[in-house]
Amino acid sequence: MQQNRLMNKTAVCTVLFAVCALAAIFHFSLNKMVVVADMPQDEMTQNAQTLPEQQADMTHGQKNPAVSAETVPGENRILFGQNDQEMNYFCIPLPESIKAEDVTVENRYMDKEIWVRLKERGEEDEYAEFYRTQGVYGKRDAVVDGHFEGSGDTFFLKFRLTDIYEHHSIFEDNKLYIDFAPPKEMYDRIVVIDPAYGAEENGAVSGEVQGKEVTLEIARALKKLLDETDIKVYYTRMDDSCPSDESRVELANTAKADLLIRIEVNQDKDSKIYGTEAVYNSSFFIPGFGSVELADLLEREVVTAISGKVNGLVESDKKDIVINNATVPAATIRVGYVSNGQEAILLRREDYIQKIADGIYQAILKAYAD
């Protein structure tokens, strides 16, 4: 008798579980709630996804007036509804033909913009007509304005933001819901890496060695290491662009980064001079760990990694705009002299670049450990 009751109870529980599971599946399929693919700026540039007209925009850290939201034709402006403070998300209606896998949200944090990339399943004119009548709505405190444009088989919704934000994106019922938040609300540990120079600013040059290429290669090698940690890392550039010094330091200050690390190369009229040095801001002081402590740690770890020569710490001067204007612990690591023949050869070697990246990586880990 007792065994029959137990079997009946088990059968009832099994049926209830199956009903609940089916209900959950039905509810999910009905609502079609899917987390949308997000892509930070450093991933986009490495995959060469920047539009041609935007390459020029990023060259000096400024937007091209020809494509900015203020000067685009009125018919390309995105309509904005009332700012609904009661709603938790910024809501973007999408054409019926768009599926979740067709949507990518790109965080262009250096430009304080967010781009919604739609893979076209219809004609570009259809999408344009859709957004001439369909507006965005919801909580849009972080959004200034927006416009749309097409390029090949891709349609873009481009929004200017009031500041640097992180976000979560959800696709549901052919609407894209975006929740914006300051970086520090989403990440406990934040680092900004600043590969110096870029575009027409080559940095120190000797023969085939260009400073802008050396610093970028170090940043790319460092990224592979930092991607394996839980540290949120922002990169001021990951391609041959040249953001302004002001935009580089603004990224670190706005994100409230724990560390700002700038990478440079050196040059001197005397070709015999070589070695590694670090630059610190003597006017920046916080108890425990500030600019000078970061500079010292960077130099020690990089020199150890490359088995190089220590030149010592150098106090920043007025040309070190990024380090001087940072409101977070910031330092520059100058990884060698391209004017020295031997060091110039080393700075072209992949294994040597990797050692420098390893040294910076160890400095970051030890900074947090301390």
Q: Among residues 337, 186, 318, which one has the least CA distance to residue 271?
A: 337
Of 31-40, 267-276, 291-300, which range is least confident?
Answer: 31-40
Mean pLDDT of the chain: 85
pLDDT at 66: 36
Tens of pLDDT, residue by residue over 121-151, are 766 688 999 999 989 999 999 999 999 998 7
Tokens of 214: 């050396």
Given a cut of 60, whether residue 60 has pLDDT beyond it is: no
Most confident residue range from 80-84, 97-101, 214-218: 214-218
Confidence at residue 235, expressed as pLDDT on a 0 to 100 scale = 97
Tell the residue number behind the tokens 């009229």, with chain if given: 269
Answer with the residue of higher pLDDT: 47 or 242.
242
Residue 227 buriedness (CB in 10 A; 0-12 / 13-18 / 19+): exposed
Closest CA to 167 of 64, 41, 77, 328: 41
**pLDDT given at position 54:** 43
Cross-strand pairs, 242: none
Distance of CA 106 to the CA centre of its chain: 9
Q: If you average pLDDT over residues 187-193, what whole number do you get? A: 97
**Which percentage of the chain shows pLDDT scores above 90?**
66
Q: Which of 287, 265, 284, 277 is nearest to 344 (CA)?
A: 265
* Max Cα distance, the chain (Å): 99
Whole-model pTM? 0.83
* Nearest-angstrom CA–CA distance, 28 and 40: 28
Say if residue 222's pLDDT is above 70.
yes
Give the ranges where the chain is alpha helix by DSSP (H): 2-31, 41-46, 52-59, 124-133, 183-186, 211-226, 245-255, 291-306, 321-325, 341-346, 350-369
Domains of the chain and any CATH numbers: 34-181 (no CATH), 186-369 (3.40.630.40)
pLDDT above 80 (res 4)? no
Dihedral sign, Cα of residue 62, residue 364, residue 218, residue 207: positive
